[in-house]
Amino acid sequence: MTIISKQIDYVYQLYLLAELTKEGFRVSGRNFRKQVADSIHIVSVQGGRNNNVLGPHAGSFTMVAGLYIPALSKIHMYEPNKKKPSVHECYLSEALKCGKSWDYKWEIGHSTDIDQLAHELLDTWHIYGKQWFLEFSDPKNIIEYFIHRRHFPMAAASYNLMLGNVDQATQIAQKTYNESASIQPFIINWASRNHIKLNTAA
């Protein structure tokens, strides 16, 4: 483990670890998971991609929130339920905002005030993390996210189908089929698996 990796671990372990544990999250390395109704809330502290090439005393990290919905994954890709999903397996996931931008990363190095950084990480959870999960407790916001923030209409179709909104799911799938030739094979397979009738005539 590199010096930077140890520093990142120390930062989240200082305050965030105790707070998330108190709120019911289970810890596994830098990942925290909490079962909420039929979904899993995930918080992940992730080191920067270039940490291994920046030298032993410089790096960055971010905190990512993810919402894993097993029923959605099964409808969309016929994936089995995962007991310990990662944020990369979530159809909804974003780096948590720190009053700056959605892709903000914290820089860390030998001169970093670790205690201040640890407090900032905890504040980010309280201000943005909880709000993120609250926002996506509303199905309307999840559909909005898929269509407008992720530009992922077929996930919106799958989510509507999960909710029992067959007509809306069919409309989204048909529109996507008509406008996106590159994913038509996927849509045909999706429709067949989920017993959805689409007009695929040329």
Higher pLDDT, 110 or 139: 139
- Per-residue pLDDT, 156: 97
Q: What is the dihedral of CA 162, 145, 132, 61, to 10 degrees?
A: 110
Mean pLDDT score of the chain? 90
- Per-residue pLDDT, 83: 84
- Return the H-helix or E-strand segment holding 173: helix 166-179
Query: If you average pLDDT over residues 141-146, what whole number do you get?
Result: 96
For 51-75, how does the pLDDT look when each residue is reduced to its tens digit (9 = 90+)?
A: 665 566 778 899 999 999 999 999 9
* Region label for 56, one of left (φ > 0), alpha (ψ between -120 and 50) or beta (otherwise): alpha
- Per-residue pLDDT, 11: 93
For 71-126, how does the pLDDT look when each residue is reduced to its tens digit (9 = 90+)?
A: 999 999 877 778 899 999 999 999 987 666 556 788 888 888 999 999 999 999 99
- Per-residue pLDDT, 54: 56
pLDDT at 177 exceeding the cut of 90:
yes
Q: What's this model's pTM, rounded to 2 decimal places?
A: 0.90
Question: CA distances (Å), 130 to each of 76, 125, 167, in order?
Answer: 27, 6, 33
Residues in the chain, how many? 202
Determine contact, residues 132/44, Cβ cutoff 8 Å.
Answer: no
- Per-residue pLDDT, 4: 77
Residue 25: partners with Cβ closer than 8 Å, 6 or more residues away: 32, 33, 34, 41, 43
Name the packing angle between helices 153-162 and 166-179 (round to 10°). 160
- Per-residue pLDDT, 99: 63
- Per-residue pLDDT, 80: 72
SS3 109: strand
CB count within 10 Å of CB 61 equals 23
With a pLDDT cut of 70, the percent of the chain lying above it is 92
